[in-house]
Amino acid sequence: RTNSSKNKYSYQKLVSLLKNKKMKQKVVLAFSGGLDTSFCVPYLIHEKGLEVHTVIVNTGGFSEEEAKRIEERALQLGATTHTCIDAVEDYYQRGIRYLIFGNVLKNNTYPLSVSSERFFQALNIVEHIKKTGADYVAHGSTGAGNDQIRFDLVFEVLAPEVKIIAPIRELGLSRQQEIDYLREKGFDFSWEKSKYSINQGLWGTSVGGVETLKSSGVLPEEAYPSQVTDHGVERIKIGFHKGEPVSFNGEKMNPVDVIRTINKTASKFAIGRDIHVGDTIIGTKGRVAFEAPAPLIIIKAHHLLEKHVLTKHQLYWKEQLGNWYGQLMHEAQYLEPVMRNIEVFLTDTQKFVTGEVEVELRPYHFSVLGCESPYDLMNPIFGDYGESNKSLTPQDIIGFTKVVANPLKIYHTIHQND
Q: According to the 3-state scheme, what is the secondary structure of 49-84?
A: CCEEEEEEEECCCCCHHHHHHHHHHHHHHCCCEEEE
Q: How far apart are CA 220 and CA 135, in angstroms?
A: 45
What pLDDT does 322 receive?
97
What pLDDT does 292 receive?
97
What pLDDT does 19 receive?
47
Q: Which DSSP state fits 234?
A: E
Burial tier of 374 (Cβ tally within 10 Å: 0-12, 13-18, 19+): exposed
Q: How far apart are CA 150 and CA 139, in angstroms?
A: 11
Any idea what the Cα angle at residue 33 is, between residues 205 and 178, rounded to 5°?
110
Nearest to 355 by CA among 310, 294, 317, 293: 310
Burial tier of 237 (Cβ tally within 10 Å: 0-12, 13-18, 19+): middle
146 neighbors 153 (Cβ within 8 angstroms): no
Burial tier of 202 (Cβ tally within 10 Å: 0-12, 13-18, 19+): buried
Q: Sign of the CA dihedral 112, 118, 123, 128? A: positive
Helix axes 337-349, 312-330, angle to 10 degrees: 150
Q: How far apart are CA 361 and CA 234, in angstroms?
A: 5
Q: How far apart are CA 301 and CA 304, in angstroms?
A: 5
Q: Sign of the CA dihedral 394, 397, 401, 403? A: positive
Q: How far apart are CA 53 and CA 76, in angstroms?
A: 13
Q: Which DSSP state fits 241?
A: E
What pLDDT does 405 receive?
94
Q: String of b and e for 17-32 (b: at least 16 CB within 10 Å)?
A: eeeeeeeeebbbbbbb
Tell me the backbone φ, ψ of residue 392, rounded to 5 degrees: -135, 145
Nearest to 25 by CA among 105, 138, 140, 106: 138
Spatial CB neighbours of 329, under 8 Å, sequence gap ≥ 6 = 95, 99, 104, 112, 115, 116, 119, 339
DSSP string covering 85-105: EE-HHHHIIIIIHHHHHTT--
66-75 own/partner pairs: CB under 8 Å, 24+ apart: 69/33, 70/31, 70/32, 70/33, 73/33, 73/38, 73/189, 74/31, 74/33, 74/41
Strand partners, 277: 287
Helix, strand counts (H, E) of the chain = 14, 16
Q: What pTM does this model have?
A: 0.89
Helix axes 293-309, 255-267, angle to 10 degrees: 120
Q: Is 310 helix (H, G, I), strand (E, B) or coil?
A: coil
Any idea what the Cα angle at residue 408 is, between residues 403 and 413, rounded to 5°?
120
Q: What does the pLDDT profile of the chain (418 residues) look like in tens digits?
A: 445 555 554 656 555 544 444 578 999 999 999 999 999 999 999 999 999 999 999 999 888 999 999 999 999 999 999 999 999 999 999 999 999 999 999 999 999 998 899 999 999 999 999 999 999 999 999 888 899 999 999 999 999 999 999 999 999 988 889 999 999 999 988 877 778 888 899 999 999 888 998 999 899 999 999 999 999 999 999 999 999 999 999 999 999 999 999 999 999 999 999 999 988 888 889 899 999 999 999 999 999 999 999 999 999 999 999 999 999 999 999 999 999 999 999 999 999 999 999 999 999 999 999 999 999 999 877 766 666 777 788 898 899 999 999 999 999 999 999 8
What pLDDT does 8 receive?
55
